[in-house]
Amino acid sequence: MPDRIDLGMNVIGEDGKSPFFDRPLTLERVHSWIRRHDIEEPVVEELVLLVNKYPNSALSSFVKNFDTHLGKARENATKR
């Protein structure tokens, strides 16, 4: 079980930003981005619950701090 996940955001565009942030983030985009990772389903469900608490304006913060949220989601999944 990996402790960290490669977010795949290492491709930098001409402006120095990741292409993931080129379009406005929506809850649906973040949900599908989470599901594309090779993560156990109970942890994915916990991540979805966590991101659902974020307002749209803070979704990029969730993505940038994904490793922290992943640890919390794993912890929550083991408690259930």
pLDDT in tens, the chain (80 residues): 556 665 554 444 444 556 666 778 899 999 999 999 999 999 999 999 999 999 999 999 999 999 999 999 999 999 87
Number of separate domains in the chain: 1
Give a yes or no: residue 30 inside a domain: yes
Number of C-beta neighbours around residue 33 at 10 A: 18
Q: Is residue 7 part of a domain?
A: no
Q: Is residue 9 part of a domain?
A: no
| Domain extent for 64 | 19-79
Nearest to 69 by CA among 46, 38, 52, 39: 46
Q: Is residue 4 part of a domain?
A: no
- How high is the pLDDT of residue 66? 95
Is residue 65 included in any domain, yes or no? yes
